[in-house]
């Protein structure tokens, strides 16, 4: 059942709250971190120079990001014939794809192996979380990268930012949304989460609250109590109502914004598709249970709702910073805390997208920033390993039910053609319809090719090069 049909069936009123300061009105991406609010952001975004048009505006992307990097040995590239210190504690189980086995703690994903493709020969030469995250989420190495180099405006733009640059939209619907966490730990802010050198005009939105929480809401899309956006028939009525109910707003600089900014703010506030996407209570209890009443499950459900509302790139961070960074106690952490909600949530997402018809136009991409070491360390964990890791892909033309690439007998190095994060980027950009030879301008106005990778063609053809 579609979001709109489900919403109509539940007949839930759309009422919510809006604050009066710019920061209360909207917190978005890196702009939010810099203290920029909706009025400033809308003005800048409406005046942003348009980039070249995309070649195909129809496809969307959901990134399921295993932040900290999941072990490929203990999930989708098991080595049951390797020595114990390599194969680990988990057993393989058969899947719906003959000859393919996955971890016993991924039973739902095992049943759906015919719905996705696995790439087991992803590879790069770095073992640092921040630099590797940038590489995977932008398709390019971090400029001037060094160990733990934090995010900066010299970074490459992430996929949502590149889409906004290529095909800027001014309808109040963002090109990209990241949720439910922003990857920052102490003084370290993970790169690859914003528009980099393209500037804050192109940043994706950042949601930093738990969709599984009973009080989950996104204040930036809310109205004052008593205002039902479904019944607000015209822009003038909405603005007058806002001004009446928020007297402080009249005294603020925000009330002096131009009519064009008001028009854009209105389109943001009353876009029922977008605002209602965040109202998780509109989903049936059965659907929410299917995804799992966890942060992971409800975040993936919210991702589907956002794509359904028109957002084209949604990144779901599975856990907080380094959640999958299992240097110690790898096996109990995976078994008890990490794999069960992932298994349930991603399986439900694939089923849901397929039944609604959205899978044809939506790529699901699940991966971390690298893999884990073949040999289990003395703390019963696995350490960072960039030379070999996996990615799962489904939808948007991906040919399902196949395994691309092969790692060696201990999962240390690819035995077939390795694919780099640059190739991941090329694959994403072609899916989104962005020309692979697109040139962008850095902060010094120098022309730079957006991506220098090659599309992972076997994902779509079923034949490895």
| For residues 38-43, average pLDDT | 41
| For residues 388-411, average pLDDT | 98
Domain that holds residue 167: 48-212+294-461
pLDDT of residue 84: 97
State the Cα–Cα distance between residues 68 and 324, nearest whole angstrom: 5
Q: How far is residue 273 CA from its own chain's centroid?
A: 19
State the Cα–Cα distance between residues 129 and 319, nearest whole angstrom: 15
246 and 112, same structural domain? no
439 and 334, same structural domain? yes
- Could you tell me if residue 42 is inside a domain? no
Is the bond into 180 cis (omega within 30 degrees of 0)?
yes
Boundary residue ending a domain (267, 286, 305): 286
227 and 208, same structural domain? no
190 and 142, same structural domain? yes
CB distance 148 to 130 below 8 Å: yes
Q: Domain containing 348 — which CATH number?
A: 3.40.720.10
- The residue among 98, 63, 140 whose CA lies nearest residue 318 is 63
| For residues 110-119, average pLDDT | 98
- Could you tell me if residue 34 is inside a domain? no
State the Cα–Cα distance between residues 271 and 198, nearest whole angstrom: 27
Q: How confident is the model at residue 70 (pLDDT cuts 50, 70, 90)?
A: very high
Q: How confident is the model at residue 9 (pLDDT cuts 50, 70, 90)?
A: very low
**Percent residues over pLDDT 90 in the chain:** 69
- Could you tell me if residue 388 is inside a domain? yes
421 and 318, same structural domain? yes
411 and 394, same structural domain? yes
Q: How far is residue 131 CA from its own chain's centroid?
A: 18
pLDDT tens digits for 262-314? 555 555 554 667 888 999 999 999 999 999 999 999 999 999 999 999 999 99
113 and 259, same structural domain? no
State the Cα–Cα distance between residues 76 and 391, nearest whole angstrom: 9
CB distance 203 to 191 below 8 Å: no
CB distance 96 to 114 below 8 Å: yes
395: left (phi over 0), alpha (psi -120 to 50) or beta: left
Q: Contacts from 455-458 at CB under 8 Å and sequence distance 24+?
A: 455/423, 455/426, 455/427, 455/430, 456/119, 456/404, 456/419, 456/423, 456/424, 456/426, 456/427, 458/402, 458/404
| For residues 429-451, average pLDDT | 91
Count CB neighbours of 218 within 10 A: 22
- Could you tell me if residue 32 is inside a domain? no
pLDDT of residue 169: 87
**Percent residues over pLDDT 70 in the chain:** 75
User: pLDDT at residue 446 above 60?
Assistant: yes
pLDDT of residue 432: 97
162 and 238, same structural domain? no
194 and 65, same structural domain? yes
Boundary residue ending a domain (229, 255, 286): 286
Q: How many domains does the chain have?
A: 2
| For residues 129-151, average pLDDT | 96
State the Cα–Cα distance between residues 220 and 19, nearest whole angstrom: 8
User: pLDDT at residue 69 above 90?
Assistant: yes
Q: How confident is the model at residue 14 (pLDDT cuts 50, 70, 90)?
A: very low
- Could you tell me if residue 189 is inside a domain? yes
95 and 3, same structural domain? no
State the Cα–Cα distance between residues 399 and 116, nearest whole angstrom: 7
Overall pTM > 0.85: no
Give the residue with greater pLDDT, 74 vs 236: 74
**Residue-averaged pLDDT of the chain:** 83
Estimate the share of the chain in helix, then strand, then coil, as percent rounded to the nearest 5.
35, 15, 50
- Could you tell me if residue 90 is inside a domain? yes
Q: How confident is the model at residue 243 (pLDDT cuts 50, 70, 90)?
A: low
- Could you tell me if residue 194 is inside a domain? yes
Q: How confident is the model at residue 443 (pLDDT cuts 50, 70, 90)?
A: confident
Q: How confident is the model at residue 442 (pLDDT cuts 50, 70, 90)?
A: confident
- Could you tell me if residue 419 is inside a domain? yes
User: pLDDT at residue 246 above 50?
Assistant: no
Sign of CA dihedral 146, 152, 153, 158: positive
């Amino acid at each position: 059942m579609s979001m709109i049909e489900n919403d109509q069936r539940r007949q839930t009123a759309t009422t919510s709250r809006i604050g009066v300061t710019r920061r209360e009105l909207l917190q978005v991406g890196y702009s939010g971190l810099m203290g920029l609010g909706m009025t400033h952001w809308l003005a800048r975004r409406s005046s942003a120079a348009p980039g070249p048009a995309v070649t195909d505006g129809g496809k969307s992307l959901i990134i399921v990001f295993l932040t900290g990097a999941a072990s490929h040995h203990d999930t989708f590239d098991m080595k049951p014939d390797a020595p114990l210190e390599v194969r680990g504690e988990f057993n393989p189980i058969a899947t719906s794809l003959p000859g393919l086995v996955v971890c016993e703690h991924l039973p739902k994903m095992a049943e759906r192996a015919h719905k996705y493709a696995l790439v087991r020969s992803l590879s790069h030469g770095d073992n640092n979380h921040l630099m590797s995250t940038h590489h995977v989420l932008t398709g390019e190495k971090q400029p001037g990268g060094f160990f733990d180099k934090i995010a900066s405006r010299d970074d490459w733009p992430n996929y949502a930012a590149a889409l906004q640059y290529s095909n800027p939209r001014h309808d109040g619907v963002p090109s990209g949304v990241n949720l439910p966490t922003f990857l920052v730990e102490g003084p370290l802010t993970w790169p690859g989460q914003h528009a980099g050198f393209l500037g804050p005009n192109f940043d994706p939105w950042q949601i930093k609250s738990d969709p599984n929480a009973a009080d989950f809401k996104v204040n930036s899309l809310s109205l004052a109590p008593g205002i039902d956006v479904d019944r607000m028939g015209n822009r003038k009525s909405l603005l007058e109502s806002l001004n009446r109910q928020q007297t402080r707003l009249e005294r603020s600089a925000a009330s002096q914004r131009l009519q064009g900014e008001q028009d854009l703010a209105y389109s943001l506030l009353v876009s029922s598709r977008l605002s209602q996407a965040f109202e998780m209570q509109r989903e049936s209890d059965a659907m929410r249970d299917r995804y799992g009443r966890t942060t992971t499950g409800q975040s993936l459900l919210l991702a589907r709702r956002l794509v359904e509302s028109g957002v084209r790139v949604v990144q779901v961070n599975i856990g907080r910073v380094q959640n999958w960074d299992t240097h110690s106690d790898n096996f109990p952490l995976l078994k008890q805390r990490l794999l069960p909600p992932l298994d349930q949530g991603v399986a439900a997402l694939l089923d849901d997208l397929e039944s609604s018809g959205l899978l044809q136009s939506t790529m699901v991409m699940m991966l971390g920033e690298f893999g884990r070491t073949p040999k289990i360390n003395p703390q019963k964990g696995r350490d960072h390993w960039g030379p070999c890791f996996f990615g799962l892909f489904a939808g948007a033309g991906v040919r399902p039910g196949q395994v691309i690439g092969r790692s060696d007998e201990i999962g240390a190095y690819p035995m077939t053609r390795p694919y780099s994060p640059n190739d991941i980027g090329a694959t994403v950009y072609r899916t989104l319809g962005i020309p692979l030879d697109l040139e962008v301008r850095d902060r010094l106005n120098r022309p730079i090719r957006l991506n220098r990778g090659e599309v992972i063609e076997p994902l779509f053809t079923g034949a490895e090069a």
